[in-house]
Chain A
């Protein structure tokens, strides 16, 4: 099993609700706080999920892209083998990459090894922190089943983010990646990220087979 999040870049509007809900949930949850040094003067604190805004192309042919970026929970997570204490580990049962704060020495080598720059150093605690895929939520059996998903997925107003098991070929996330040419970032570095993005391109026809056959019969 490899739990992951798929983000549809066609639907993301850059509202940052996922960024804020991540910070709110994790600061108040089992893995918090996600610290800030001077939160009222300078918002440059720790965020496990950051939304990048990019503009590409030359005027007048320009385009703006919003890219939510958090831990990619890579299949071959480069942050795991470099850790000298075993504090960085990948769970065998669901593929989530986590940090054990009690055995992290704060050497930050995992931050160098991570190709995506999504690990953050907490100077006060002296440990490295990162997205946990809201493991405390998704394994909390006291929550209703539809709420057992990461805070960023649940808060997305456009439903751009989908949570599921990428190793299950019948899951929604696997279907989206297969049908919509989902891609991972920086594939050339060989980390095999499980988090995928759906490219901004015209979506395939939403018609199912039956509707399509009916339409074809009517036309021809």
Chain B
């Protein structure tokens, strides 16, 4: 799949905003949130949500028709995404105003209720966006519940990491953060395994009716990379590039934030707190790029040669003597 910039911006921004607000709601529930500390994370959440919203706006190529975007709420997850993201944005805007002008009111019931409701709408928006991807059977890599878990957990993890830069309570809760990181990493690894399986699900037998393999494409019908008019197709990633981006993701999204929070918690290096948001951002960008670029669409059978597969039966090196 082509990793379109507006979609990267939308999914990353929305996940970060939702994750930050969920983190703040959790800290409030534990009684570890103070008014002044909440200001920067709330502003960051509003900023990322706004950037994400703009990303989705500019992904529309025919703005004249934008007014029809919620016509199909009954069937289209994209319609629902437009609605839930707008609701989340509205609550987030009110929350930001309240936090800015009444920072000391964090402990009030009204503020706490608003924070919880905003977090709930953030989770709902993330879930709807994740369902949009998970419910497309033709994108074999995404058509799994792991997609929902992955997008939501990566959003929350990156949001927590960004919040940690400004809220001093997060590092002291490093065990919880480590558990969250481990859970997200496990889901991410399972998701990548599913991506690998999806590569192998392309079948010439059902895609072309050819009764025997392997097949080789001699002419894909007057089309070639980068497939300008067929944006669901993206050239296969080179194994070296795939490996590099995966290592980058694991390093920046999981390993370095965990190391940073442990170092910060021990008090060995105060600057470690800024490694968390920077690492999470670098990691989540790589993760999301790979989410799109490495996804297998069923139509790939019409654009790419069938991979040669080794026999699945055990083979001996030489004929055994009788």
Chain A residues close to B by CB (< 8 Å): 9, 19, 37, 43-47, 50-58, 64-65, 67, 69, 78, 81-87, 101-109, 111-123, 125-127, 183, 185-190, 197, 199
Q: How far is the CB of B296 from chain A (nearest CB, A)?
A: 12
A86 CA to B75 CA in the complex, in Å?
A: 10
24 contacts between A and B (CB under 8 A): A9-B209, A19-B221, A50-B222, A52-B220, A54-B217, A56-B210, A56-B212, A57-B212, A67-B208, A78-B136, A81-B75, A82-B76, A82-B77, A84-B72, A85-B71, A106-B61, A114-B232, A115-B298, A116-B298, A119-B232, A125-B62, A126-B61, A126-B62, A188-B206
Residue of B nearest to A14 (CB): B219
CB of B302 closer than 8 Å to a CB of A: yes
Whether the Cβ atoms of B209 and A186 lie closer than 8 Å is no
CB-CB under 8 A from B204, the residues of chain A are 54, 56
- How many residues of B are counted as interface, with CB atoms below 8 angstroms from the partner's CB atoms? 58
Which residues on the B side are within 8 Å of A82 (C-beta)?
A: 75-78, 136
B229 interfacial contact with A, CB 8 Å: yes
Q: Which residues on the B side are within 8 Å of A107 (C-beta)?
A: 59-61, 78
Q: How far is the CB of A174 from chain B (nearest CB, A)?
A: 19
Which chain A residue shows the least CB distance to B63? A105
Which residues does chain A contribute within 8 Å of B79, judged by CB atoms?
84-85
Measured CA separation A96–B140 after assembly (Å): 26
Check B138 for interface membership: any CB of A closer than 8 A.
yes
* Contact indicator A187/B206 (Cβ below 8 Å): yes
Q: Beyond A43-B222, A65-B208, A188-B206, is A113–B138 a contact (Cβ under 8 Å)? A: yes
Given A52-B217, A83-B76: A122 and B229 interface contact (C-beta under 8 Å)? yes
Partner of B61, one of A53, A55, A105: A105
Most chain B CB atoms below 10 A, which of A52, A187, A199:
A52
Pair A113/B75 contact, Cβ less than 8 Å: no
